[in-house]
Amino acid sequence: MRKINASEVMAGSKFNRFHLLVFFWCVYAIAFDGFDIAIYGIGLPLMMEDFGLTVVDAGAVGSYTLVGMMVGALVFGPLADLIGRKKVLAICMFLFSAFTFLAGFAPNATIFTILRFIAALGMGGLMPNVISLMTEYSPKKNRALIVALMYCGYSVGTIIASLIGMYIMEDMGWRVLYWLGIIPLFTLPIFMKKFPESLSYYILRKQGDKIANILNQVDPTGNYKETDDYEYASTRENAKGSPVKKLFINNRAVSTFAFWLAVFSSLLMVYGLNTWLPKIMQETGYGLSSSLSFILVLAVGQIGGSLLGGYLVDRIGHRKVLVSMYLLGAICFVALSMTSNSLLLYVLIAIGGACTVGTQNLANPYISEFYPKEIRSTGVGVTVGVGRIGAIVAPILIGLLLTTNLAPQSAFIAFAIPSILGSIAFLLVQEKYASFDKLDVSQNGEIAFKKIIDNKAL
């Protein structure tokens, strides 16, 4: 009987149709996640008029939603390591799709907040699971770029929401944004039929037929069989115990706290900008459509930062790129608070997008792969859940800044502080205690599988 390390087979594979299937569904799910998150800030100016909300009220509603996202990440991340990531993804898609749609019919701010909170549970739980699945099913050689490109779906959803806001919302009202959230619900049966469960889930349950089917798709020359030993015993042994507790053992505690600080800083910037950028630009003197165009540019910058950063990560490493992008973001936000030139504002907003969501996109696979594969959903889920505290604080904090006598544009300088904190946090990560997937590279540059198959007869 052959002994096979399924994770290393996947790490050494080349991108093909199977990877593309996983990639497509992850992009699809995260695009609607990004759409749902963006529509609050885009529809906020009209919603404030409809519900008679003050700036502080609007910030509070946004923060209640983000509490739901924090709870979703903290609950659904660890749950996925227990019942399977595919099941949890389906639950999350149902929650954010159905309840976003219902929020579009809310008669007042209270009902809207309750429905939005329930939808946010799904939004919060979805992100750590698509990150873990895409990381698990990506070839190691291009993993950072693939996961970053996948997470660009978040920005694509933001762009679509911005375009709808710019060209349809003024005529049809803010509620149309929420009604469109029903679309993923109709595609859920196809998702359940086509999308694979995680390899670690199959290995823990000794489902060799499903493991062999997946591995033969990513490595057709391997001739993997149901009777092969996919390291069941060692995987089950590693899976014992509390997955949350494992984030702190084996010298991982310092790095875990560093990740929490980094993601806290990142999400504070991301949700502060998503919620208040249109309003800040309106207060600065831009019309509704023009102010929404800044969200569009922000999303384009997010995609550019993800792709360029992913390319650089594969060459110089995650930490150097992440620290550099956070520091660039700090400079960018200081400059944004000082300039009034429209063209320069657009350029700086794009850079801001690259150094916030773009940076978070690159951090996600780094955090996921830092932990052993059996606790990766937990690692990302808890990290993002704790980081959501930054997302919760952001709408209220920026809302309060906008109530002062300071120029609205001065609020941008507040984002420079978390940028600096984020760069410091990644410098504290202790990579020598990480569980990064590794590949051996031969002298001629070809990737060789490391300890994948042990042809030892039992």
- 257-311 tens-digit pLDDT: 999 999 999 988 988 887 778 777 777 777 666 667 887 888 889 888 988 988 8
Asked if residue 349 has pLDDT above 60, the reply is: yes
Residue with tokens 């020598």: 432
Question: pLDDT above 70 covers what percent of the chain?
Answer: 93
CA distances 221 to 4, 163, 202, 216, 228, Å, are: 14, 46, 21, 7, 15
Question: From the CB of residue 242, how many other CB atoms can be counted at a distance below 10 Å?
Answer: 11
Amino acid (one-letter) located at 248: F
Distance between CA 211 and CA 409 in Å, rounded? 54
Tell me which residue of 196, 202, 215, 255 sits closest to 436, measured CA to CA: 255
Distance between CA 60 and CA 375 in Å, rounded? 33
Task: Count how many Cα atoms sit within 13 Å of the Cα of residue 114 in the half-sphere of its side chain.
Answer: 6
Distance between CA 347 and CA 176 in Å, rounded? 30
Q: In which band, very low, low, confident or very high, does the pLDDT at 437 lie, cut at 50, 70 and 90?
A: low
Asked if residue 452 has pLDDT above 50, the reply is: no
**pLDDT at site 283:** 75
Measured in whole angstroms, how far is the alpha carbon of residue 149 from the centre of its chain? 11
Amino acid (one-letter) located at 28: Y
* Strand pairing class (453-454; 3-4): antiparallel
Give the chain's domain count: 1
**pLDDT at site 277:** 80
- What residues form DSSP beta bridges with 229? 3
**pLDDT at site 261:** 95
Question: For position 52, which CATH number holds?
Answer: 1.20.1250.20
For residue 126, the enclosing domain spans: 3-454
Residue with tokens 């939603």: 65
Distance between CA 347 and CA 335 in Å, rounded? 11
Q: What is the mean pLDDT of the chain?
A: 84
- Its pTM stands at 0.75
